[in-house]
């Protein structure tokens, strides 16, 4: 089929000898559709063990996307505590009201955990990530993505401690020695008169997120992404 070396009887196995790009090429040639990486990989992960023919039939026959509650009820997520599941569902509901969603699937967590939920803006070609939920063996971490921190200094300085501490605490501090000039990974800003330097690769992680704190996470996103307050619950 086209230039792809796969065929309809190939069994989908993630992380084996066949690279993800081969599966993606086959999918695009067969369907004529192009999905972003954050949309394609979660879909492919859910097809593990099927032949490509069976996976394509499932794709064509799917008329309704599973919601987050249904996905978290799958056996592979039995290790997630009920309180963590409750937060994920609450956050998912709230962020969708702001015009962002997770693309309908939960993908591989790579080096950050077992699984990862990725949120980006709905119905746009550019899939800039606004948030991730990292699902690890025994807990979850909410990671949010921010730029131009200084413009929101007053908001951060007056935020609840569990929000402010992520911006001013030691986790994610730049540890480069010697420091490189104009490092693209460094985020530099001032809070409470103190200059802070963070590494963007491991920054703005909210550990132990809860349903009770969810509204503050959503308000924080609204502040940075200029989302109208009228959209919030």
pLDDT of residue 33: 74
Question: Who contacts 105 (Cβ-Cβ below 8 Å, separation ≥6)?
Answer: 39, 41, 42, 43, 45, 46, 71
Spatial separation of the C-alpha atoms in residues 85 and 13, rounded to whole Å: 27
pLDDT tens-digit map of 41-92: 888 888 888 899 888 887 776 645 688 999 999 999 999 999 999 999 999 9
| End residue of a domain, out of 63, 93, 108 | 63
Residues 113 and 136 occupy one common structural domain:
yes
| End residue of a domain, out of 9, 30, 63 | 63
Residues 208 and 124 occupy one common structural domain:
yes
Beta strand spans in the chain (E): 100-101, 107-108, 115-121, 129-135, 140-144, 186-191, 194-199, 205-207
Residues 123 and 76 occupy one common structural domain:
yes
Residues 51 and 39 occupy one common structural domain:
yes
SS3 16: coil
Of 152, 145, 158, 160, which is closest to residue 210 (Cα–Cα)?
Answer: 160
Residues 30 and 140 occupy one common structural domain:
no
Top-confidence residue, 146 or 122: 146
CATH number at residue 141: 3.30.310
Instruction: Note if the pTM is more than 0.85.
Output: no
Residues 6 and 50 occupy one common structural domain:
yes
For the cut 70, the answer to whether the pLDDT of residue 7 exceeds it is yes
Average pLDDT over residues 7-12: 89
H or E stretch including 21? helix 20-31
Average pLDDT over residues 26-48: 80
pLDDT of residue 139: 96
pLDDT tens-digit map of 132-176: 999 999 999 999 999 999 999 999 999 999 999 999 999 999 888
Strand partners, 106: none
Residues 212 and 137 occupy one common structural domain:
yes
For the cut 80, the answer to whether the pLDDT of residue 233 exceeds it is no
Question: Is 21 exposed, middle or buried (CB count within 10 Å of its CB: 0-12, 13-18, 19+)?
Answer: exposed
Q: Helix 37-45 to helix 20-31 angle, to the nearest 10 degrees?
A: 100
pLDDT of residue 40: 83
Residues 127 and 181 occupy one common structural domain:
no
pLDDT of residue 97: 92
Residues 77 and 130 occupy one common structural domain:
yes
Residues 110 and 81 occupy one common structural domain:
yes
Contact between residue 73 and residue 81 where contact means Cβ atoms under 8 Å apart = no
Spatial separation of the C-alpha atoms in residues 94 and 116, rounded to whole Å: 18
Name the one residue in this structure whose structure tokens are 């955990």: 113
Residues 41 and 126 occupy one common structural domain:
no
Spatial separation of the C-alpha atoms in residues 118 and 85, rounded to whole Å: 15
| End residue of a domain, out of 63, 91, 111 | 63
Top-confidence residue, 179 or 17: 17
Provide the mean pLDDT of the chain.
Answer: 87
Residues 114 and 217 occupy one common structural domain:
yes
Q: Which domain holds residue 35?
A: 1-63
For the chain, the domain total comes to 3
Top-confidence residue, 28 or 220: 220
């Amino acid at each position: 089929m086209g230039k792809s070396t796969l065929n309809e009887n190939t069994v989908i196995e993630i992380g084996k000898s066949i690279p993800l790009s081969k599966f993606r090429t086959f999918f695009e040639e067969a369907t004529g559709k192009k999905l972003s990486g954050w949309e394609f990989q979660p879909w492919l992960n859910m097809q593990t063990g099927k032949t490509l023919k069976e996976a394509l039939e499932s794709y064509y026959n799917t008329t309704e996307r599973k919601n987050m509650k249904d996905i978290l009820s799958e056996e592979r997520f039995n290790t997630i505590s009920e309180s963590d599941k409750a937060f994920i569902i609450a956050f998912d509901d709230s962020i969708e009201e702001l015009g962002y969603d997770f693309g309908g699937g939960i993908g591989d967590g790579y080096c950050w955990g077992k699984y990862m939920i990725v949120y980006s803006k709905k119905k746009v070609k550019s899939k800039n990530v606004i948030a991730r939920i990292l699902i690890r063996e025994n807990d979850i971490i909410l990671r949010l993505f921010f730029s131009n921190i200084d413009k929101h200094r007053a908001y951060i300085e007056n935020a609840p401690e569990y929000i402010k501490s992520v911006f001013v605490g030691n986790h994610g501090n730049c540890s480069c020695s010697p420091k490189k000039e104009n490092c693209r990974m460094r985020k530099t800003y001032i809070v409470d008169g103190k200059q802070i330097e963070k590494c963007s690769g491991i920054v703005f992680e909210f550990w132990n997120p809860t349903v009770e704190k969810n509204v503050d996470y959503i308000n924080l996103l609204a502040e940075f992404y200029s989302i109208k307050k009228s959209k919030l619950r």
